[in-house]
């Protein structure tokens, strides 16, 4: 089927908008590629320092002819998703040696866990950690000793930060290697029920802890479809994983075989071979459009609406939130994975997973089929699935039919005809709302505002019994300039309880919500943010606010609204403690949410 007209138009709009910046970027990448193998420009002293600890690989490295892989790793054992990466460098080195090549860990990057910092002061560093990750990876690769790169990272800010680095060093090939999701534990809906019971005092902390530990119980990503697993989907749709690699569980023979195959592929696509695939050519406008299509078709995390523009800017590409909305209008929602449904990502993968979805979307003309990927030319190979045959990976034809239509459906009978995201605009600014998990009767909310300056105050008002009628909660001064734009996922149980009591409730904020949030309407990333003089700073208690996710509007219905003086908040408490002092420069220089809330681009 020919390419969908809207997909084609949005892509062309992005190309035209990005023409100058993309050309300048590609000129820089060409200049770096034209310099040839980078180690040739290092002095003997430079090289001696780089190879001193490499023992059995010294001779190969000093010869300068065999490719050398630079590994950037986000390993730590604070994150369940990154614990498996502990053993990956040794495996990668062994596979490289067998190919007559070498591999070195170029550097490690920080990788914080939003699950640990959720609702805590440390969450105020979370978004900015993405830019730190990009810079840390840049430090590792600045040694200029590498012919190709492997990136080991999975979770929320880690993959976006690594992509920003991969694009910046886009003269090198970049292969992303996942670790996979943990095996299924306590079902996510049961965990959510216990959280709501705890919020209302029906159960104690012992029952809450028991439920949480039964849900998050082993190595691998959390099994709900939040930001971490959305990242993995994105890497496959954009052609940076090997086909079918995203959702294979850790500690399995197939997982190790895919890591070995990824290493072999990273070596095959260097400039020394016949399949040179620098990251700058993989990360083009079509790849980003394909990634957004995947985001909509799966009902993925709203965090990617923030991260994708920053990732694209690193490759000279300019995305706008209207691009997301336009694509959402023509891409059907094909998956129901928690919080959009009851299944987890393991169930989704078993039902046919990403390979089935990519095949359906290609057949319907909803993806660019002619992108360049690390696996080859065209996205068609990503409809295949990996199998372990005699200890090695072989790719076979994936399923052409869903194996569970309660979780995964073809485009013609999708769960809804449009994707899971709407852009919003009005006299409160611009923002986005994830609607894939919001029931249709809750997509238009008009109610009096209750204004708060932090999420703790919302919980206090709830516990005091102050919320007895329909309410739109305006939680402002939560943007990147205010306090680093923490996720407000801690509000989800409270708002869900109010909604379950029959109240019409919604959230409007210049902050973020977790990728695990969904059934309560939430207008997020509202820009300009309150601390930058944005309209949110003019809202007063009792103002009638209308959030219309059908028409895409977000407005205060007050005649004097535009003439009001914005409120100025005391943000001094957000400037010190738990490392906040170190991030003042980021808060001072960060861009708006509409362009990715980045400080380094």
Tens digit of each residue's pLDDT (9 = 90 or more) over 489-502: 889 889 999 999 99
Residues 234, 92 within the same domain: yes
Q: How confident is the model at residue 516 (pLDDT cuts 50, 70, 90)?
A: low
- Range in 35-44, 75-84, 117-126, 150-159 with the lowest mean pLDDT: 35-44
Q: What is the pLDDT of residues 383-409, one digit of tens each?
A: 999 999 998 999 999 999 999 999 999
Domain end: 365, 397, 429, which one? 397
The pLDDT assigned to 185 comes to 78
Domain assignment present for 201:
no
Residues 298, 428 within the same domain: no
Where residue 429 sits, what CATH number does that domain have?
A: 3.50.30.80
Stretch 101-115: mean pLDDT, rounded? 94
Alpha carbon of 101 to those of 54, 73, 268, 270: distances in Å? 13, 19, 11, 12
Alpha carbon of 346 to those of 210, 249, 352: distances in Å? 22, 8, 10
Residues 373, 464 within the same domain: no
Q: How confident is the model at residue 212 (pLDDT cuts 50, 70, 90)?
A: confident
Residues 463, 382 within the same domain: no
The pLDDT assigned to 131 comes to 97
Q: How confident is the model at residue 435 (pLDDT cuts 50, 70, 90)?
A: confident
Domain assignment present for 416:
no
CB 108 within 8 A of CB 96: no
Stretch 295-320: mean pLDDT, rounded? 95
* Residue 3 reports pLDDT greater than 80: yes
Residues 6+ apart with CB under 8 A from 576: none
* Residue 156 reports pLDDT greater than 80: yes
Stretch 74-89: mean pLDDT, rounded? 95
Q: Which of 283, 325, 36 has the alpha carbon at shortest distance from 159?
A: 283
Q: How confident is the model at residue 517 (pLDDT cuts 50, 70, 90)?
A: low
**Token reading at 590:** 């960060």
Strands (DSSP E) along 368-456, which ranges? 372-373, 376-377, 384-389, 392-397, 421-426, 429-434, 444-452
The pLDDT assigned to 515 comes to 60
Stretch 293-314: mean pLDDT, rounded? 95
Q: How confident is the model at residue 232 (pLDDT cuts 50, 70, 90)?
A: very high
The pLDDT assigned to 62 comes to 87
| Beta-carbon count within 10 A of 578 CB | 13
The mean pLDDT of the chain is 94
Domain assignment present for 191:
no
Residues 389, 502 within the same domain: no
Q: How confident is the model at residue 195 (pLDDT cuts 50, 70, 90)?
A: confident
Residues 435, 349 within the same domain: no
Which has more pLDDT, 317 or 116? 317
Residue 44 marked ligand-binding: no
The pLDDT assigned to 188 comes to 73
Residues 239, 319 within the same domain: yes
Q: What is the pLDDT of residues 550-595, one digit of tens each?
A: 999 999 999 999 999 999 999 998 899 999 999 999 999 999 999 9
Q: Which of 402, 292, 293, 406 has the alpha carbon at shortest distance from 341?
A: 406
Domain assignment present for 167:
yes
Q: Report CA dihedral (512, 514, 518, 521) to the nearest 10 degrees.
A: -20
Domain assignment present for 20:
yes
CB 69 within 8 A of CB 267: yes
- Range in 34-43, 161-170, 304-313, 480-489 with the lowest mean pLDDT: 34-43
The pLDDT assigned to 503 comes to 97
Residues 481, 347 within the same domain: no
* Residue 342 reports pLDDT greater than 90: no
Domain assignment present for 80:
yes
Residue 145 marked ligand-binding: no
- Range in 192-196, 274-278, 302-306, 490-494 with the lowest mean pLDDT: 192-196
Domain end: 342, 362, 397, which one? 397
Domain that holds residue 502: 421-595
β-bridge pairing 429-434 and 522-527: antiparallel
Q: What is the pLDDT of residues 38-65, one digit of tens each?
A: 777 889 899 889 999 998 999 999 888 8
The pLDDT assigned to 345 comes to 93
Q: Which of 54, 18, 297 has the alpha carbon at shortest distance from 167?
A: 18
Quote the number of domains for the chain.
2
Q: What is the pLDDT of residues 344-379, one digit of tens each?
A: 999 999 999 999 999 999 999 999 999 999 999 999
Stretch 514-528: mean pLDDT, rounded? 84
Domain assignment present for 32:
yes
Q: Report CA dihedral (255, 261, 266, 268) to the nearest 10 degrees.
A: -170
Residues 435, 510 within the same domain: yes
| Beta-carbon count within 10 A of 390 CB | 5
Residues 519, 436 within the same domain: yes
User: Cα–Cα distance between 478 and 524 in angstroms, integer?
Assistant: 10
Domain assignment present for 210:
no
Residues 365, 450 within the same domain: no
Residues 494, 383 within the same domain: no
């Amino acid at each position: 089927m020919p390419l969908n007209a809207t997909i084609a138009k949005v892509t062309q709009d992005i190309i035209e908008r990005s023409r100058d910046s993309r050309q300048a970027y590609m000129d820089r990448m060409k200049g770096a590629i034209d310099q040839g193998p980078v180690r040739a420009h290092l002095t003997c002293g430079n090289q001696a320092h780089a190879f001193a600890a490499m023992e059995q690989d010294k001779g190969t490295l000093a010869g300068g002819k065999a490719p050398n892989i630079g590994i950037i790793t986000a390993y730590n054992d604070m994150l369940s998703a990154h614990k498996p990466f502990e053993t990956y460098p040794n495996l990668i080195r062994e596979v490289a040696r067998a190919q007559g090549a070498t591999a070195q860990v170029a550097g490690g990057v920080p990788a914080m866990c939003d699950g640990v910092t959720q609702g805590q002061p440390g969450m105020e560093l979370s978004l900015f950690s993405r830019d730190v990750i990009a810079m840390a990876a840049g430090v590792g690769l600045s040694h200029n000793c590498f012919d190709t790169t492997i990136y080991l990272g999975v979770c929320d800010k880690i993959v976006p930060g690594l992509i920003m680095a991969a694009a910046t060093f886009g003269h090198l090939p970049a292969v992303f290697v996942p670790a996979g999701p943990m095996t299924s534990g306590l079902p996510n809906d049961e965990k959510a029920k216990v959280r709501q019971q705890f919020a209302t005092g029906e159960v104690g902390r012992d029952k809450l802890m028991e439920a949480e530990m039964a849900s998050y119980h082993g190595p691998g990503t959390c099994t709900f479809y939040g930001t971490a697993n959305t990242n993995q989907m994105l890497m496959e749709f954009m052609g940076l994983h090997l086909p079918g690699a995203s959702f294979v569980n850790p500690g399995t023979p197939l997982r190790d075989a895919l890591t070995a195959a990824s290493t072999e592929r990273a070596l095959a696509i260097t400039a020394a071979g016949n399949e040179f695939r620098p990251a700058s050519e993989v990360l083009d406008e079509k790849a980003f459009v394909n990634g957004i299509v995947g985001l909509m078709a799966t009902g993925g995390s709203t965090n990617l609406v923030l991260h994708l523009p920053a990732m694209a800017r690193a490759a000279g590409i300019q995305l706008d939130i209207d691009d997301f909305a336009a694509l959402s209008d023509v891409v059907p929602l094909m998956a129901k994975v928690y919080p959009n449904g009851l299944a987890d990502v393991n169930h989704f993968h078993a039902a046919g997973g990403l390979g089935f979805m990519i095949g359906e979307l290609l057949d319907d003309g909803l993806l660019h089929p002619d992108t360049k990927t690390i696996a080859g030319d065209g996205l068609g190979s990503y409809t295949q699935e990996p199998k372990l045959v005699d200890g090695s990976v072989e790719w076979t034809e994936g399923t052409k039919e869903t194996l569970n239509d309660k979780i995964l459906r073809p485009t013609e009978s999708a769960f809804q005809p449009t994707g899971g995201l709407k852009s919003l605009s009005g006299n409160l600014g611009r923002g986005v709302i994830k609607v894939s998990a919001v029931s249709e009767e809750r997509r238009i909310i008009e109610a009096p505002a209750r204004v708060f300056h932090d999420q703790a105050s919302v919980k206090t008002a709830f516990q005091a019994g102050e919320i007895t009628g329909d309410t739109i909660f305006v939680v402002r001064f939560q943007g990147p300039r205010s306090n680093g734009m923490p996720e407000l996922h801690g509000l989800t149980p409270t708002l869900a309880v109010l909604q379950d009591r029959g109240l019409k409730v919604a959230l409007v904020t210049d902050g973020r919500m977790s990728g695990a949030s969904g059934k309560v309407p939430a207008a997020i990333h509202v820009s300009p943010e309150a601390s930058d003089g944005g309209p949110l700073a003019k809202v007063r208690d009792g103002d009638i606010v209308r959030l219309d996710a059908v028409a895409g509007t977000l407005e205060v219905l007050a005649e004097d609204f535009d003439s009001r003086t914005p409120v100025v908040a005391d943000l001094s408490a957000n400037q010190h403690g738990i490392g906040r002092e170190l991030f003042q420069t980021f808060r001072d220089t960060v861009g708006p949410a509409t362009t990715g809330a980045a400080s380094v681009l």
